[in-house]
Structure 1
């Protein structure tokens, strides 16, 4: 794959800046060290809070959360951060959540679910489910699930699990890993992509499950489901240069085939993790604006293809 032609200079600069924060021995470091490195890297991209956003930490029945309040919230978004189920937390996606809050004028509740390998699957899913149920009871009204990467997996897993219990207005999935076939399509074509490789995907999977992934556990892999009916309207954003790209396409097609509403935007020339590049690269900034627009659309219970 000729990434030098697919990826523009601004995204290459973002890739190099990201890589500069990772010492050569990072892959061999323990999980605590990897988390500290990841958090420092995320902080280097921190853009601050927009005006008019109030932020406070709390607990959702024992699950740590951070609540972002705009001037007049019209709905509540439950946000699950990325990080391969191994790294990340309330601080890693702090400004991202604040900007979604301000630009879409929605309350955002960021969820600090338990991480692997100390807490293997289904711990993260259980925390995501607990937090979602808490949010729907605490802030009645319209609710949207959202998340990037591993967080997109959690959002979709909760949507499947609660489709007949919670009235969710939608879900916004950003370069999600949904349990697709790792021998085909984008997993093969982009096995050596910048920012996330197939080897990385396999590493995170081993950490999450303590070995081989289950084959029929929808709470781990939403694409393992055999029923895609009754799911909320779904907008999926994938990065062209990402082994996970086809998961979003296949998930969209499954929902549509079952009669549901789903749209996928495959962002040309972008890489996994591009949310952090939204203030450094025009293509990432434009995608973030589309993500905000999709969130606002679902929060207002509208739909357009």
Structure 2
């Protein structure tokens, strides 16, 4: 059994306890409406505001099934090397433009890049591939709207969507210049690695993952669908340069390692960083926990570097 008392420091435990004060550990037993209410309240409590000089505009684009809401963040001192398409986490059933509002604003503030956050459709009202279709609509809109490269960035469920989009668009003339995936779920082998070692990790358990998968798919077995499980792809060639950043105390961490290995084996560029002692969802801890603060700086640096077409790993 993993000894989290030794792995996780006092600052991170304080973050976990604060999160649990808003978000009970048994929340997956609540209704979806209740889960969303709890999650949204928690996100509001952790909201850190906008950096000076960052503004946002909420709009929408036309998708094949419906309009896709977006929020566009702009910096008073812009860097036009790239724009960032951000896909939020939340297990495909939670979150939206407000849940990751300050994260996107800070990415914009610290890189100078324009950041576009995508409010993709959520399950169970909209089963897979609805979220993937909205992400594809967003990348196609961005590639057609901006005269600069598009960089993908996302956390958790959003990291999954980024990777799925990267696989689907690698043959496009305006494919993404890179991707930064933050503790993503990519469909790894649940019989090994972190899925076993950290099956009962604080903040996210394997039971939680099974719940989210069931809700997203409607309980239908879709093994092998690479738009759902990017690691199921047989071809990892020609993917954009990729930086994966995972939390050590997270059942999903091994997905980052496996995805890195597949890209490198196919001749591509990929780097994986496992953040010691951190837990799933630590983006919300970036102002209170030293390890999370350092990791967010790593994320910002990765976004800034890939956006300029550079590779320093």
TM-score by length of 2: 0.96
1:57 is matched with which residue?
58
2:84–2:150 CA contact under 8 A, matched in 1: yes
Matched, 1:73 2:79: yes
Kindly provide the CA deviation profile for residues 210-232 of structure 1, in whole angstroms up to 9, marking residues without a partner as x.
11441111100100000000100
Instruction: For residue 25 of structure 1, report the CA deviation from its aligned partner.
Output: 6.4
- 1:288 alignment partner in structure 2: 296
SS at match of 2:22: coil
Matching residue of 2:268: 260
Map 1:67-106 onto structure 2 (within 5 A).
67-71=72-76, 72-74=78-80, 75-106=82-113
Does the 8 A contact of 1:114 with 1:124 survive in 2? Answer: yes
Is the Cα–Cα contact under 8 Å of residues 166 and 175 in structure 2 kept in the other structure?
Answer: no
Q: 2:196 aligns with which of 188, 191, 208?
A: 188
**2:155 aligns to what?**
148
Give the gaps of 5 or more residues in structure 1. none
Contact 2:57 2:71 in 1 (8 A): yes
How large is the Cα RMSD of the aligned pairs? 1.0
Q: How does 1:3-18 map to 2 (within 5 A)?
A: 3-18=4-19
- The counterpart of 1:112, out of the listed 116, 119, 132, is 119
How far is the alpha carbon of 1:28 from its aligned partner?
Answer: 2.9
Query: How many pairs align?
Result: 305
* 1:100 CA displacement: 0.3
CA contact (8 A) 1:205 1:212 kept: no
What's the offset of the Cα at 1:96?
0.2
> Following the alignment from structure 1 to structure 2, what is the Cα–Cα distance between the partners of residues 23 and 153?
25
Structure 1 residues 138 and 32: alpha-carbon distance in aligned structure 2, compared to 1, 3 A threshold: same
3-state DSSP class of the match of 1:20?
helix
Pairs within 5 Å for 1:127-166: 127-165=134-172, 166=174
- Cα deviations across residues 228-256 of structure 1 (Å, max 9, x unaligned)? 00100000001000000000000000000
> Structure 1 residue runs of 4+, over 3 Å off?
23-26
- SS in structure 2 of the partner of residue 97 of structure 1: helix
- Residue 178 (str. 1) matches residue 186 (str. 2): yes
User: Distance between the aligned counterparts of 2:186 and 2:23, measured in 1?
Assistant: 26
Distance across 2 between alignment mates of 1:25 and 1:278: 25
- Residue in structure 2 matching 1:228, options 211, 233, 236: 236
TM-score by length of 1: 0.98
Q: Which shifted more, 133-142 or 253-262?
A: 133-142
The alignment partner of 2:36 has SS state of: helix
Whether the aligned pair in 2 keeps the contact of 1:73 and 1:105 (CA below 8 Å) is yes
8 Å Cα contact 2:177/2:309 also seen in 1: yes
CA distance in 2, matches of 1:52, 1:16: 33
Structure 2: gaps of 5 or more residues: none
Find the residue that maps to 1:251 and give its secondary structure. helix
Distance 1:24 1:227, change over 3 A: closer
